[in-house]
Amino acid sequence: MSGNMNLTLKIWRQKNANAVGKFETFNVKNVSPDSSFLEMLDVMNEELEVKGIDPVAFEHDCREGICGACSLVINGRPHGPLQGITTCQLHMRHFKNGDTIWIEPWRAKAFPVIKDLVVDRTAFEKIMQAGGFVSVDTGGVPDANAILIPKETIELATDAAACIGCGACVAACKNSSAMLFVSAKVSQFALLPQGQPERYNRVQAMVKVMDEQGFGSCSNTYACEAECPKQISVKNIARMNREYFMAKVKTENVEL
């Protein structure tokens, strides 16, 4: 087909967490501009499989930008060159014939490589388990319309709640900070009436685990916002900092 492309891929390969990784070169031919980036990798992997070579491991699932599984750094940018999308939503029409494309995993101390382009994001789970919830058991709740929430508030909370937990913010940050991820969840609940009773405990508990898991600090470069596929705003980080400060002011357990 005319318009199809031949590309050179430089892909990070690493057998497991303890092995030393390196870039390997792959040539892919006749790629349709209408294919997605991951479909291009599928074709390459299938050719490897035919030859009996272990295909390149990469994480993916929904392929519509919502599950948060896909996680590639493409030419140095998490989720590739476009803004506001995940890797699985990137199409080959944004590349041109003869391009060389560098493909790497998320790189962060808190996200060790499992194999090739697959990393371990369990650190995010630990943060969620520490406080990413409203403590309510099933049953015994009031009628849904008994809790009134202004439209403006719900819009802000939904903006924050749209986070897909992919970890691009961490991969984009020179400090490997998880502040955008954590602040999105903290903000959602800090904005909503349902989150008020645990407001100050939540932010402290989540930040504590965030630090323990080895994520870095925020130094306000806004790279996270720029690379976030859901374009979560850094205003959430500002809000989390205020929440954290207020928590320290209001807490009864003064740490000495």
Partner 1 sequence: MAKLNAKIPEGTIHEKWTNHKFSIKLVNPANKRKYDIIVVGTGLAGASAAASLAELGYNVTVLTYHDSPRRAHSIAAQGGINAAKNYPNDGDSIKRLFYDTLKGGDYRAREGNVYRLAEVSNNIIDQCVAQGVPFAREYGGHLDNRSFGGALVSRTFYSRSITGQQLLLGAYSALSRQVGLGKIKMFTRREMLELVVVDGAARGVVARNLVTGDIESYSAHAVCLATGGYSRVFYLSTNAMNCNTTAIWRAHKKGALFANPCFTQIHPTCLPLHGDAQSKLTLMSESLRNDGRVWVPLNPGDKRTPGQIPENERDYILERKYPTYGNLAPRDISSRAAKEACDAGKGAGDTGQAVYLDFQDAIKRLGKKVIEERYGNLFQMYELITAENPWNVPMRIYPAPHYTMGGLWVDYNLMSSIPGLYVLGEANFSDHGANRLGASALMQGLADGYFVIPYTIGDYLAGTKFTPVKTDHPEFGKETKEVTDMTKKLLSVKGKRTTDDIHRQLGRIMWNKVGMARNKKGLQEAIKEIRGLREEFWQNVNVPGSAEDLNQALERAGRVADFLELGELMAVDALDRNESCGGHFREEYQYEDGEAKRDDKKYSYVAAWEYEKASKWKLNKEALEFEYLKPTVRSYK
Q: Identify residues 118-157 at the interface with partner 1 (CB under 8 A).
A: 118, 120-122, 124-125, 128-139, 141-145, 147-151, 154, 157
Q: Which two tokens stand for residue 2?
A: 């005319």
Q: How far is the CB of 139 from partner 1 (least distance, A)?
A: 8
Q: How far is the CB of 219 from partner 1 (least distance, A)?
A: 27
Which region, judged by CB under 8 A, interacts with partner 1, from 101-109, 161-169, 215-223, 241-249? 161-169
227 touches partner 1 by CB under 8 A: no
Q: How far apart, in Å, are the Cα atoms of 250 and each of 74, 147, 208, 245, 246?
A: 44, 26, 17, 9, 6
Please choose, from the candidates 110, 109, 43, 101, the residue with its C-alpha nearest in 3D space to the C-alpha of residue 72.
Answer: 101
* 26, 37, 181, 189: which one binds partner 1 (CB under 8 A): 189
Is 188 in contact with 156 (CB distance < 8 Å)? no
β-strands 77-78, 72-74 pairing:
antiparallel
| For partner 1, the closer CB: 10 or 91 | 91
Long-range residue pairs from 22-26, CB within 8 A, at least 24 positions apart, any chain: 23/102, 26/56
105 touches partner 1 by CB under 8 A: no
* 13, 35, 214, 221: which one binds partner 1 (CB under 8 A): 35
231 touches partner 1 by CB under 8 A: no
φ, ψ at 229 (rounded to 5°): -65, -20
Residue the block writes with tokens 């323990």: 212
34 touches partner 1 by CB under 8 A: yes
DSSP 213-231: TT-B---S--HHHHH-TT-
Q: How far is the CB of 204 from partner 1 (least distance, A)?
A: 14
**Near partner 1 in 37-66, by CB under 8 A:** 38-40, 42-43, 45-46, 48-50, 52-55, 57, 59-66
Q: How far is the CB of 116 from partner 1 (least distance, A)?
A: 8
Q: How far is the CB of 220 from partner 1 (least distance, A)?
A: 27
Neighbours of 169 (CB within 10 A): 30
115 touches partner 1 by CB under 8 A: yes
Which region, judged by CB under 8 A, interacts with partner 1, from 117-125, 170-178, 220-228, 232-240? 117-125
Q: What is the rounded distance in angstroms from the CA atom of residue 75 to the CA atom of residue 8?
A: 12
